[in-house]
Amino acid sequence: MRVLLSTYGSRGDVEPIAGLAAALQELGADLRVCAPPDDEFVDVLARAGVAPVPGFAPLRDWVTKLKKQPATDPARRAAEIIETAKRIVSTQFDVMAAAAEGCDAILATGLFPSVAAAQAVAEQRGLRFACAAFCPRFLPSEHHRPYEYPTRPHPPGVSDNRVLWQHDLQTQAALFGEGINTLRGRIGLAPLENLRDPIITRRPWLAADPILAPWQPTDLRDVVQTGAWILSDERPLPAELIAFLEAGTPPVYVGFGSMPMQALKEASRLAVEACRARGRRVVLAHGWAELDLIADRADGLAVGDINQQALFRRVAAVLHHGGAGTTTAAARAGVPQVIVPQVADQPYWGSRVAQLGIGASDGASVPSFDGLSDSLAKALAPETRARAAALAGTIRVDGAATAARLLLAPASV
C-alpha cells in the first residue's frame, strides 16, 4: 500500500509525521511525505528513512519574516492571511497532486489551507483521507473553546462552546474560503460553504497522549485518539554537553523551540536569571529565536538541536514554550515542566501540566522574573518531581504504531 503523508507546520508537526512514517515502513508501507523543505526537517525525516517532497516554502524563513513585520491593523492583517492562504492551498495542491500518483491514502496535518489542499487531492482522485490534530483544541467539542484567530476574536460575552464553534465555521470561511473554493473550482470540485467539517472530516484523528490530553466524548465529532506519534531518537549527546552534565548537579533546560519571537530573548534571560537565583545550572537551546547566554559562565551551556529524549532524563526541570512534542517528551522523561505559552495550542498544554501537578504555568506569554521564579519553585518541589516520575510510566509509546495499523486497515478512513 502506498501512502502520502502531508504536513505544513513547525518541528512539532513534522517530527510526529516522521514517527508515523517510521511505523508505517515497519509494516511494509510504501511512503511519500510532503513537508516544508527546511534543512532541519529534512534531517528529522531522514531519521525515519524518508526524503520529503518539498512543500510551499521553508517554514523558518517564512515565519521569521512574518514575526519581524511591523504590526498592522486587523483588516490589513486579515487580508494578508487570506492572500497567504490562497498561495499555500494552490501550491500545496500542485505539489501533492504530483506526489499522490499511485497512492491509496492520504493523511494530512498542519496549517488548515495545506490540509484543505490534501483533502482536495484525495476527493478528486477518490483516495482514502484522514486528518490528524496534535491537540484537542483544534477539534470541535462543547468541552473546550476553539482556537481564536488574531483577526477574528470570539464574540464578546459568549461562553457557550457550541456557539463558539459555529463562529469558528464563519472564521474559516472568511479567512480561507476564497482560496480553497478557487482551487476547488480550478480542479472541478464543487465549492464548500462549510469548509471545516469536510476537511477535518467527521472522524478526525487525535495524535496526543490520552493522559496528557484526554478526549471527552461529544456529538460534535467522532474522534479517534491514537496516542502521540513519537520518533525514536538514538543520536548521542554532544561530548561538551555530557561533560557539562557530569560536572555538577542536574541543570534546568530552557528552550522555546520553533518560536522565532524576538521577545523570547528577554524571556530566556529572565529564565536563566531565575534558575541561577535558585542555584540551578542551565542548558539553553538556541532555537529559532537564536537564544544565547549573555554571560560566559561555567554554570550555563548553550546548545543547538539535540536529543531531547536523552537529555530530559538528566535535567532537573524543562522550561519551554509548551509545544505538544516538548510537553510529551518531558512527560515521558518524568521531569517537571514550566511552560511559557506563546501561541496556538501552547496555553492548553500549560494548563494540562498545571492540572496534572507535573509542573507549572501562569499562562503569561511575556513572563516576569517573579512569575518564572514562582513557577520554578513549584516545578522543583519534591512532590512535583514525584508526580512527574509517576506519570512517566503511563505515557503511551505506541501511538504511531496504532495510527499506522489504522491507516493500513481496509476502510478505516
Cα separation, 251 vs 103, whole angstroms: 47
Sign of the dihedral defined by the CA atoms of residues 135, 25, 198, 398, in that order: negative
The alpha carbon of residue 392 and the mean position of all alpha carbons in its chain are separated, in whole angstroms, by 20
**For 310, which DSSP code?**
H
Q: Which residues pair with 132 in a beta bridge?
A: 205
> By the 8 A CB rule, do 349 and 323 touch?
yes
Sign of the dihedral defined by the CA atoms of residues 9, 114, 219, 408, in that order: negative
Q: In whole angstroms, how far apart are CA 249 and each of 74, 141, 245? A: 48, 44, 7
Give Cβ neighbours of residue 389 (< 8 Å, ≥ 6 apart): 334
Specify the pLDDT at position 71: 61
Cα separation, 383 vs 359, whole angstroms: 10
> By the 8 A CB rule, do 37 and 52 touch?
yes
Phi, psi of 365 (to 5 degrees): -80, -25
Specify the pLDDT at position 259: 82
Cα separation, 122 vs 120, whole angstroms: 5
What H or E segment, with its residue span, contains residue 318? strand 317-320
Specify the pLDDT at position 66: 62
Specify the pLDDT at position 412: 60
Show the domains of the chain with their CATH numbers: 2-230+397-408 (3.40.50.2000), 239-392 (3.40.50.2000)
Q: In whole angstroms, how far apart are CA 399 and each of 157, 180, 218, 408? A: 38, 31, 22, 14
Specify the pLDDT at position 72: 67
CB atoms within 10 A of CB 186: 11
Specify the pLDDT at position 150: 81
Q: In whole angstroms, how far apart are CA 71 and each of 67, 263, 265? A: 9, 14, 19
**For 384, which DSSP code?**
H
Place of cell 519571537: 261
Specify the pLDDT at position 411: 66
- Cα–Cα nearest to 100, from 133, 51, 57, 53: 53
Q: How long, in residues, is the chain?
A: 413
Span 146-155, pLDDT tens digits: 998 888 899 9
Instruction: Per residue of the chain (413 residues), give pLDDT as tens.
Output: 999 999 998 999 999 999 999 999 999 999 999 999 999 999 999 999 999 999 888 888 777 666 655 666 778 888 888 999 999 999 999 999 999 999 999 999 999 999 999 999 999 999 999 999 999 999 999 999 999 888 889 999 999 999 999 999 999 999 999 999 999 999 999 999 999 999 999 999 999 999 999 999 999 999 999 999 999 999 999 999 999 999 999 999 999 988 877 788 999 999 999 999 999 999 999 998 889 997 778 999 999 999 999 999 999 999 999 999 999 999 999 999 999 999 889 999 999 999 999 999 998 889 999 999 999 999 999 999 999 999 999 999 999 999 999 999 976 66
Check: pTM over 0.85? Answer yes or no.
yes
